[in-house]
Structure 1
Amino acid sequence: MKSYSQILSALIALALVIGVVQTADAQEDARAEAVTLYNEAQDLAGANQLEDAIETYRAALDVANDNELEDISERIVRQLPRVYYSRATRAFQQYQSERTIEAADRAIERFTEAREAGEEFNDDQVVQQSTRALPQLHYLKSTIQFRNEDLDDAMASLDEALELNPNYATAYYQRAIVYKKQNPEDIDQTLAYYDRAIELAEQTGDDRTLGNARSSAAEELIYRAVNLKDESRYSRAIELLEKVDNYDSDNPNAHYRLAEISNTRGNFERAIEHANRALDLETGGVTDRAKIYFELGTAYKGLNQQSNACSAFENANYGDFSEPASHELQFELECEGHSASGRR
């Protein structure tokens, strides 16, 4: 007859066998559940039901991790960040269709989540792609806010873009535009933002922003200078106009305005110098060149060089300057070949 200890050992062995069998059965059940969820997630992703796909992938991952099903976990980890990124790109496409603040915010949220998923599952490509997209989205959001005249919000969005990418030249360009609207008298800070945009655009090879920033800075300087001239603040106007060359050395309008101010101040030699430079740079037709010739004629008239003045006013006798040029030719200078009836 078997001893008590032998019976006990046999029972323990039987229990262990049963336990192993039960564990194996549970493992197989878990694997089946994880595989079913994974396949469902794949189908949902393929049908562009990305929200449901993410949720189902997550459920499958929980089952796989809880039961140490590493092969299934690895498959899910490879797929899941890409699905997050696909959802983000769809949100961006929706933004492109709607062009609203709400759509921009939704796209920003989705790319932020995609970046976080990439970080969670060590997908460097998704992290990099999402990180690159976010500054652009904050910039695009700022352009809508600017059009809506929500200037403080527009500047805040640009701050977000630059925090994410301090070398974002276009964001600095847009910051100059917003700041100019907020602080129309502070041209120095506006120019500082344009300067930073130019510097970064040169460093990063962003030719489009480089051209836009240079052109906008030059136009702003000329605009401010014309207003200062109208207020008889000639020294400050000249100071601004002389800075235009730093941004656009081929701008004829700056030299035309300098000729205009020089004539107003009686500095006719200087006016001739600037007028001739403006003519060298002007690529337009006779109507575009007429205003420059008018200033050139005014300068020659101031120096009592009648022949040169008559020649210049003849070239100014087009478009909006036809009437004042004709007056100079006929009545002020009485140029040869001209009579009170008009042009010869």
Structure 2
Amino acid sequence: MKSTAKNIISLLCGLLLIGMLDVSQAQSREDAILAFNEGLEKVQSGSRAEAIESFKKAIEISNSVGSEADDIRGRAQSQVPRLQLAIASDLYRERKYEAAIQGFQQAREYAQRFGESQIQRAAEGNIPIIYMVMGNNEYRGGNQEKALEYYNKSLEQNPNNPKPHYQKGLVFRAQENTDEALGSFDRAIQLALQTGDEQTEREAEAAARDMLVFRSAKLIEAGQARRAVPLLERSLQYDSEYAPAYYRMAEAHNLMGNWDQAISAGNESLRYEKGGRVDRAKIYFELGTAYKNQGNVQLACDNYQQAAFGSFRSAAEHQIEHEIKCNGGTR
């Protein structure tokens, strides 16, 4: 009798346990739905971070329920990375860059975990952009080393972007590190050609060209014309129609006594110069100097007369009236 009673009690306990499991499972699905709906409500109220926690809770409950809650789990999983991406985007717009980077990194992690490849690409694409922005801010503020640090971080995330290389070139140019600057500009041009980024290509070419012409002008002023010529020749590789480069070439060759080369460079400078008489005056002056030293008085006079404008007027008139004594004076 006692044995029978024990068996009945055991059976009842077993049935009760089964019943409790059934109720627990039913409640778990309901809990998953409640957690999911709670997440939606928080999204609508603008509480994205709290919504993410609710959706994560819905995912956790759905996992414990099993296949019966697959639909809830799938919908919750799609919400989490999207919300995190939105949070990071807001931080970026608020210029909270460090927090935004962390936010996009978290969005990428969620996207990888839940198989949201589009969200993953969006998050990954934004991280190097933010590092670029941070680098530009440091560059404008004069913090060159910090700027380089951020540009390098940007390249770690996206090594095929030409823009950070261009910006690095600007930093190295400011530091008067010509070799590093040219290396960065060249890399920017190479990647810009590969990716179809015409704007960065033009900017990098112009920056490299202008830097070389500026450096050559300083060398010419310092009496080192021979060192200036290779820089000018290299500048023409970036822009073969740049009038100031040919003008500096004419100036350098005149200082070295290379009259034929000076005339050739001067004529090329005139060919590409788009300015008016005042802009052309300095070129004509170099041509006049070269022809004068060749002994070609007529061409020297013609060019000095063309040079008698703007800041070169006095020097040109001196040549015309007192050095080679051109007939007819100035005009």
**Band the TM-score falls in, shorter-chain normalisation:** over 0.9
**Residue deviations 1:217-253, cap 9 Å, x none?**
0001011111111222222111111101111111111
Mapping of 1:1-344 within 5 angstroms?
Answer: 8-68=6-66, 69-95=69-95, 103-182=96-175, 184=176, 186-338=177-329, 343-344=330-331
Gap regions ≥5 residues in structure 1: 96-102
* Distance of 1:284 and 1:46 partners within structure 2: 61
SS of corresponding position for 1:180? helix
Query: Aligned-residue CA RMSD in angstroms?
Result: 1.9
Distance 1:221 1:38, change over 3 A: same
Q: Distance in 1 between matches of 2:325 and 2:174?
A: 48
- In terms of mean alpha carbon deviation, does 66-75 or 157-166 score higher? 66-75
Q: CA deviation at 1:26?
A: 1.9
Distance in 1 between residues matched to 2:251 and 2:20, nearest whole Å: 98
Give me the whole-angstrom Cα distance separating, in 2, the residues matched to 1:331 and 1:235: 30
* Higher alpha-carbon deviation: 323-332 or 150-159: 323-332
Of 221-230 and 10-19, deviating more is 10-19
Aligned equivalents of 1:193, 1:84: Cα separation in 2: 35
Pairwise CA distance, 1:5 = 6.1
Q: Separation in 1 of the partners of 2:184 and 2:49? A: 41
Letter in 1 for 2:253: S
> Separation in 1 of the partners of 2:328 and 2:254?
26
Q: TM-score, normalised by structure 2?
A: 0.93
- 1:318-343 Cα offsets, whole Å, 9 max, x none, are 222222222223333332322xxxx4
Classify the secondary structure of the residue corresponding to 2:263. helix
Partner of 1:99: none
Deviations 1:163-205 (A, max 9, x none): 11221211111111122333x2x31222111111111111111
Contact 2:173/2:211 (<8 A) preserved: no
> Could you tell me how far apart the structure 1 residues matched to 2:299 and 2:57 are?
88
The structural deviation recorded for 1:137 is: 1.2
Q: C-alpha deviations, 1:18-73, integer Å up to 9, x for none?
A: 22322222223223332222112112223432222222222222233233332211
Preserved CA contact (<8 Å) 2:225 2:255? no
How far the C-alpha of 1:210 sits from its partner, in A, is 0.6
| Cα distance in 2 for residues equivalent to 1:122 and 1:242 | 54
Distance (Å, rounded) in 1 between the aligned partners of 2:9 and 2:100: 63
**3-state SS, counterpart of residue 94 of structure 2:** helix
Aligned length: 329
Cα deviation digits, residues 236-284 of structure 1 (max 9, x gap): 1111111011111111111100101111122211111000011111122
C-alpha distance 47-287 of structure 1, shift in aligned 2 (>3 A):
farther
Which residue identity is paired with 1:207? E
| AA of the residue aligned to 1:181 | A
CA distance in 1, matches of 2:139, 2:210: 20
Greater shift in the superposed pair: 33-42 or 251-260: 33-42
Code of the residue aligned with 1:134 in structure 2: it is I
Structure 1 range deviating more: 11-20 or 127-136: 11-20
CA distances 1:132-173 after superposition (whole Å, capped 9, x unpaired) = 111111111111111222222211112211111221211111
Q: Equivalent residue for 1:98? A: none
Q: If the length of structure 1 is used for normalisation, what is the TM-score?
A: 0.89
Uncovered stretches (5+) of structure 2, i.e. residues with no partner: none
Residue 7 of structure 1 deviates from its aligned partner by 5.1
